Amino acid sequence: MKVFVLGGDGFCGWPTALHLSDLGHDVTIVDNLSRRKIDVDLEVESLTPIAPIGERLKVWKELTGNEINFVHLDLAEEYDRLEVLFREQRPDAVVHFGEQRAAPYSMRDSSTKRYTVDNNVRATHNVLVAIATTGLDIAMVHLGTMGVYGYGWSGTAPIPEGYLTVKVPTPDGEIDREILHPANPGSVYHMTKTLDQLLFAFYSSNDQVRITDLHQGIVWGTQTSQTALDERLINRFDYDGDYGTVLNRFLMQAAIGHPLTVHGTGGQTRAFIHIRDTVRCVQIALENPPTRGDKPQVFNQVTEVYRVRELAELISKLTGAEIANLPNPRREAVENELNVSREKFLALGLDPTKLSEGLLEEARDIALRYKDRADTTKIIARSVWRQGMETSPDLMKS
């Protein structure tokens, strides 16, 4: 299969590109390297050392014989080149990771709010327009987020995979209607994924674009079997207050002797998935596209559910790290329950990596190994959801 991986230089995109290439697919990465450039602006780096994209691809070819193409292209700004690329290359599928993906970054200031909306909405819309305009039957797999659903809306019912059937009152009695789960995003970033859902609904209805939307939980872990082949293929590990995800941050904090930064009570319950399962889920989604004319297909890409404080306690027990309860810069429920439907991927053969299996490897091979690269001034989350919200001072001097 000829597959374009949009945003294929990023944290989820890069291991996905290698995984698909390893399976024998003809892979092209389309990326503007924005994730690296945002690091430049934030004056921070991945804990793991990231090779330039050219070197990454050269090493991959040397080690495996598989060639991955790279096109430097801005999806939001260079529509015409994207359309030409589709016409010339005629991919069978695109996997779309080409969006700004950090909630705290999306809430930093007016500029990052605007960038997140402008980039994400335009990138997604441009891809859809290019598919519709060329008339090519390119299946699209998009990385969404569990954050589109919000938390607790459905009472005790599990969060469905995209759609739910509700009863609507009418003068003639109730009728059943299937609706897209109502949107309840907690940040500008999450909001863009709810906008994407409406774009998908329209283009699948008007132009029969075949779309799979993957509502992913919080990713943890760093390596897949492909990225672990050589240090020059290593995946990103973000630990900073904007891009670091909670579990990876805890592991790194434990490694350098920094208290584990729990915001509020840590009663927030969230869904998690290992990066190894992310790449498998994308593969499964590519192998099981919807039929032309179907509505967008939604999978919840989630394997386990934990409270943030449970994770902190687990890692504290493992490593002896202290736990610090810091002010919560987000506007969110202090505590919530979470119950997520995740039957579809299990039915299609996903065999999840459990936290209990991957955690020690992650602590040893990544956090401890690269801890000297950490900049401790970048750990505390400084983005606040509204002006005047409290944040913590640095807890450790570098």
Q: Select the residue interacting with a second copy from 103, 138, 140, 199 (CB under 8 A).
A: 199
Integer Cα distance of 35 and 8 in angstroms: 10
Lay out the site mask for a second copy across 232-271 (x = CB under 8 A, - = otherwise): ----------------------------------------
Is 194 an annotated catalytic residue? no
Q: Which is nearer to a second copy, 169 or 349 (CB)?
A: 169
Q: Are 97 and 6 in contact (CB under 8 A)?
A: yes
Is 189 an annotated catalytic residue? yes
Q: Select the residue interacting with a second copy from 347, 356, 372, 387 (CB under 8 A).
A: 387
Q: Which is nearer to a second copy, 166 or 334 (CB)?
A: 166
Enumerate the β-bridge partners of residue 301.
216
Strand 69-72 relative to strand 93-96, pairing: unpaired
**How does DSSP classify residue 273?**
E
Count the site residues for a second copy by CB under 8 A.
54
Shortest distance in whole angstroms from residue 391 CB to a second copy: 17
Shortest distance in whole angstroms from residue 394 CB to a second copy: 26
Here the tokens at position 345 are 């991927």
Which residues, 6+ apart, have CB-to-CB distance to 155 below 8 Å? none
Shortest distance in whole angstroms from residue 269 CB to a second copy: 17
Strand 218-220 relative to strand 163-168, pairing: unpaired
Maximum distance among all alpha carbons in the chain? Answer: 69
Here the tokens at position 159 are 């969060």
Integer Cα distance of 100 and 189 in angstroms: 7
Of 280, 299, 260, the closest CA to residue 353 belongs to 280
Handedness of CA 3, 8, 13, 18 (dihedral sign): positive
Specify the DSSP element, H or E, that contains 16. Answer: helix 13-22
Q: In the range 37-96, which residues lie near a second copy by CB under 8 A?
A: 79, 83
Integer Cα distance of 363 and 356 in angstroms: 12
Is 134 an annotated catalytic residue? no
Catalytic residue among 115, 189, 243, 306: 189
Q: Are 49 and 39 in contact (CB under 8 A)?
A: no
Q: In the range 329-348, which residues lie near a second copy by CB under 8 A?
A: 331
Specify the DSSP element, H or E, that contains 132. Answer: helix 110-134
Catalytic residue among 16, 145, 212, 245: 145
Shortest distance in whole angstroms from residue 154 CB to a second copy: 6
Q: Which is nearer to a second copy, 132 or 229 (CB)?
A: 132
- Asked if 109 interacts with a second copy (CB under 8 A), we say yes
Q: Which is nearer to a second copy, 18 or 30 (CB)?
A: 30
R_g over Cα of the chain: 21
Q: Select the residue interacting with a second copy from 24, 41, 65, 168 (CB under 8 A).
A: 168
Of 4-12, 43-51, 108-116, 237-245, the window that binds a second copy (rule: CB under 8 A) is 108-116
Q: Which is nearer to a second copy, 200 or 243 (CB)?
A: 200
Binding site for a second copy (CB under 8 A): 79, 83, 109-110, 113-114, 117-118, 121-122, 125-126, 129-130, 132-133, 135, 153-157, 164-172, 174-175, 177, 179-180, 182-183, 185, 188, 191, 194-195, 198-199, 201-202, 205-207, 331, 385-387
